[in-house]
Amino acid sequence: MERVDVIVFAAHPDDAELAMGGTIARLSKEGKKIMIADLTEGEMGTRGSVELRREEAAAASKILSVNIRENLKIPDGNILLSDDNLRKVVGLIRKYRPSIIFAPYKNDRHTDHIDTFHLIKKANFFAGVGKYSVIIDGQQSEFYRASKIFYYMQTYEFDPTFITDISAHFQEKIAAIKAYGSQFYSPGQTGPETMISSKGFFDYIEARAKVYGFRIKKEYGEPFFCEEDIELDLSNYLKGF
Ligand SMILES: [Zn+2]
């Protein structure tokens, strides 16, 4: 199995696009191999069906040039820190051997996002424990741990460890979010209004990208948090001046 550079873990289809669609587009356009792993099919969502969201996720992946998208089919609203779920995620990490993992920040309005944080953090740790046995395709998997987990921002804000410049990819991010026609505002769309289906939601997405862009003197940005220190390569940094 060919390894990937990055796995973006998300509780629901559309979370990855909303929180870091610009960063995904930027990395994939630079030739990095990107995988999005949605933990659930979003079947508890107020709007849209599982089938529709599956089609929408495929369309969004295409816009962002994502190489692989998998769905772990964990029940929506019930992302338990169970042995079964842990093995699913550890199996994926060991199979695709990403250098970096992205996951939801530790606190959020939606408790599925918090549960995903705990599951991914534990899974990346145990993926690197030799005696933690997971069978993949009938074979004992080799232990492997991604070097870092970077956490992305959903509803609740945090002080970022770093911000990525997504100015050149903001439009792709918006196009990928709009691919989820059942979830977000589109003229003439029917169904009960939710927080994210209101007309003002896209203004909010743009405003946040502008705020974090401004903080790094760019047009648009996406914020991330890391629990560990990150080295800054000063020589490389100085080349940017
Ligand atoms: Zn979500």
* Per-residue pLDDT tens digits for 200-226: 888 999 999 999 999 999 999 999 999
- 54 C-alpha to ligand 1 centroid (Å): 15
For 36, which DSSP code?
E
Domains and CATH numbers, the chain: 6-238 (3.40.50.10320)
The fraction of the chain above a pLDDT of 70, given in percent, is 97
48 token code pair = 């849209």
What is the pLDDT at residue 47?
78
Predicted confidence (pLDDT) at residue 10 exceeds the cutoff of 90: yes
- 2 C-alpha to ligand 1 centroid (Å): 28
Query: CA–CA separation, 1 vs 4, rounded Å?
Result: 9
- 151 C-alpha to ligand 1 centroid (Å): 14
What is the pLDDT at residue 181?
85
51 token code pair = 């089938």
Assign residue 126 a region: left if phi > 0, alpha if psi is -120 to 50, beta otherwise?
A: alpha
The fraction of the chain above a pLDDT of 90, given in percent, is 83
- 113 C-alpha to ligand 1 centroid (Å): 6
- 112 C-alpha to ligand 1 centroid (Å): 7
- 11 C-alpha to ligand 1 centroid (Å): 5
Query: pTM to 2 decimals?
Result: 0.94
- In angstroms, the Cα distances linking 12 to 41, 61, 73, 93, 180 are 6, 14, 10, 18, 12
* Per-residue pLDDT tens digits for 76-116: 999 999 999 999 999 999 999 999 999 999 999 999 999 99
Least Cα distance to 4 among 73, 117, 85, 95 occurs for 95
